Amino acid sequence: MRGAFLLELGAVMVSLTVLARLAGRFSFSPIPLYLGLGVVLSEHGILSLDVSREFIHAGAELGAILLLFLLGVEYSVGELTAGVRRAHVSGAVDLGLNFTPGFVVGWALGWSLTAAFLLGGVTYISSSGIAAKLMRDLGWLGNRETPAVLSILVIEDLVMALYLGVAAALVLGASTGTLVWSILGAVAVVAAVLVGASRYGGRLSGMVFGQSDESVLLGLLGLVLLVAGVAEQVGVSAAVGAFLIGLAISGEAARRADRLLGPLRDLFGAIFFVFFGLQVDPSTIPPVLAPALALVVVVAAGKMVAGWVAGRRFGASKGGRLRAGALLIARGEFSIIIAELGVEAGLEPQLAPLATAVVFLLAVLGPVAVHVVGTVHRTRPSSRIRSP
């Protein structure tokens, strides 16, 4: 049994390596490939992976926590507040155009209110990881539309901190009164963390900051897991707890956190996507392709509009506004984390295959759209932000 476990786990890791290199060679996100590998290895797939499922489940939970923690590390409280002030209108447009289609489709399919709410979250949130990688790879970090894209992503991630708390309460079958308290509690927790991070973030960073990488790594990882565990115990999503503690880490500790935990995030993040794919029966995907394709068209257009509105407010050119919209199209880690809440609760059998299809298609369409728009509307010196 132990030999079979190591054999299967090793085969999964080698497969992930090949897929990551393949994605890197063609400059697109490996997320759809990881999801596809999970579907292939699912119980009803071409190959069935059984022995390593428990380990992969635990690794997937750790991957989701690290994904959200390091996402929070990328932002400071000042960036959050500045982004909300400057892009609140385009953020509202983004929410309305991209959450509504998912919710409406879920409701039209006869799903419960909770399942429809989760599908709305799947279609709403862009992939910060894919967008950031595309901007780095294409050299667009200095473009005038880049602050517009980052502001939209900041608002989305802040909304997600509240959304996940509400979603967790809905999944647990909370009553109306309990749900109201969950919403108020989520708002209070987020506000408290933002205030605490602005005032005491330096002290917290100093607590985990040490001379050796070993002490920093152990301190950060232990702190993140403790906060995530406490969040789960009080009825708040562990992902929210991880994201909020990431916001509180700043300065040199934040830079070292990204350097030390980044490889672990990539490793367990890949395992997280594989695990989600393992829960999808390939035969359930064809029946949901029609609504998936409809959602892809509608929400891709919604992101283009949101990017156009945000880019205009930041003074970007026509090409810059189109580039901003294209950068927001891809969905990824957050969408799968949301869908996983419903899958674990057994809410709706079609949620996993529909979310998989939507994320797969948009994670591929997003980079393709970025390259097409970038080719048609190349950046010009006048459209770039001048360094002071």
Tally of CB atoms within 10 A around 165 = 24
**Cβ atoms 287, 74 nearer than 8 A:** no
What is the predicted pLDDT for the residue at 3?
A: 59
- Each residue of 264-297: pLDDT tens digit? 878 887 887 888 787 788 888 999 999 999 999 9
What is the predicted pLDDT for the residue at 306?
A: 95
Q: What is the pLDDT averaged over residues 81-106?
A: 88
Kind and range of the H or E element at 13?
helix 2-25
- Each residue of 166-183: pLDDT tens digit? 887 788 776 666 667 766
**Which residue's entry shows tokens 């990688």?**
133
Domain boundaries, the chain: 2-121+133-381
Q: What share of the chain is helix, strand, coil (3-state, %, to 5)?
A: 80, 0, 20
**Fold held by 2-121+133-381:** Na+/H+ antiporter like fold (1.20.1530)
